[in-house]
Amino acid sequence: MAFRSTVGVVFLACLVVLASSAVPKNSKRKPANAPARVAEDAERDAEITNSCPEDGYFADAEQCDKYYECRNGEIIEKLCPDGMVFNDYDSNDEKCDLPFNIDCSQRPKLQTPIPSLHCVRQNGYFSHEEPHECGKFYYCVDGKFNMITCPSGLVYNDKSGICTWPDEAKKKGCGAADVFQFDCPAVNETFGLTHPRYADPDDCQFFFVCINGNTPRRSGCKLGQAFDDVNKKCEWARKVPECAEWYKGQLTDAELDALENPPTPKPKPAGSPSRRKPNRPGKGKQVVVEDEE
């Protein structure tokens, strides 16, 4: 489908060029009389009319953000908003998208960028200017930016426009060792294939999984739990000796009781347990959106 419409447009683009180059050529020659001129124009229009394969929207052969609308045989050249590219999956849809899922390798040209503060182009996702800010990026809409922070331990990946593990993002200065400051202990190959886990030395709630024994990824236990480095699993923090006090000041004993023994689905009318949600700032797993002006 995409191939078909692109081929149609290669053909189309040639005809557009032919039609425009025909103008100076014709103007050099003095028309003998008015009717002849009209006939010539009509002939040329007919040629263009016939060149529109069918009504719809067709990608330009060379420029990913340029496309053509064919309507009743008329060709209208159009441009996507800066930063977006034409989506040619269906010629009935006039659609421009961010470039992540669209293959522009065969039509790599783009319009001249219109940059604004933190936005390389008017629309899209752009890396933070500071290379060491691995997990921060900007989302730009019509030239207005929003700074977004990846969940803890993830790195903004330029190629996919999403937050990924540092070893997947392969960003210079943002490798697993830079982001986590954790080196997987050397192990033999057999043991490495079990993806061994190690407690995060700085945070009881978290641990590292060493993929194939050598690539760390940070992972967390649920609220109220800690990683038990002896049994290599998440356990209620109060049962892990070195982490027994971890939630002191963040959760009360009553709140920990409630987490450890979740209220039954049908609480008794009297003396039902507290429904107050424990709140642990800064440790959320959600993407944090900040407005920075």
Q: Which residues bind ligand NAG (CB under 6 A)?
A: 187-188, 190-191
Least distance from C-beta 189 to ligand NAG, angstroms? 8
Q: How far is the CB of 196 from ligand NAG (least distance, A)?
A: 9
DSSP assigned state of 275 = -
Q: Which is nearer to ligand NAG, 190 or 286 (CB)?
A: 190
CB 186, min distance to ligand NAG, A:
10
Minimum Å gap between C-beta 173 and ligand NAG is 32
227 within 8 A of 205, measured Cβ to Cβ = yes
Rg (CA), the chain: 30
Residue of minimal Cβ distance to ligand NAG: 188
In the complex, minimum distance from the CB of residue 193 to ligand NAG, in angstroms, rounded to a whole number:
10
Residue placing its CB nearer to ligand NAG in the complex, 105 or 188? 188
CA distance 282 to 194: 31
Rank residues 190 and 264 by Cβ distance to ligand NAG and give the closer one.
190
In the complex, least distance from residue 165 CB atom to ligand NAG, rounded to whole angstroms: 25
In the complex with ligand NAG, the residue whose CB is nearer, 33 or 190, is 190
4 vs 146: CA distance, rounded Å: 38
Q: At what angle do helices 2-28 and 34-51 cross, to 10 degrees?
A: 170
Distance, C-alpha 272 to centroid of its chain: 44
Measured CA distances, 52 to 16, 42, 88, 98, 214 (Å): 10, 16, 16, 27, 57
Nearest residue (CB) to ligand NAG, 79 versus 187: 187
Contact 58, 67 (CB under 8 A): yes
Comparing CB distances to ligand NAG, the nearer of 36 and 193 is 193
- What are the DSSP calls for 176-232, one per residue? HHHHH---PPP--HHHHTT--EEE-TT-TTEEEEEETTTEEEEEEPPTTEEEETTTT
Sheet holding 288-290, edge to edge: 124-127, 136-141, 144-149, 288-290
Cβ-proximal residues to 57 (8 Å cutoff; 6+ apart), any chain:
67, 68, 69, 70, 78, 86, 88, 91, 92, 93, 94, 95
Q: How far is the CB of 98 from ligand NAG (least distance, A)?
A: 46
Minimum gap (Å) between residue 232 Cβ and ligand NAG: 12
Q: Which is nearer to ligand NAG, 81 or 196 (CB)?
A: 196
Question: Could you tell me if 12 and 52 are in contact, meaning their C-beta atoms sit under 8 angstroms apart?
Answer: yes
- Distance in angstroms (rounded) separating the CA atoms of residues 147 and 140: 9
Specify the residue, 97 or 229, whose C-beta has the smaller distance to ligand NAG.
Answer: 229
SS3 state at 157: strand
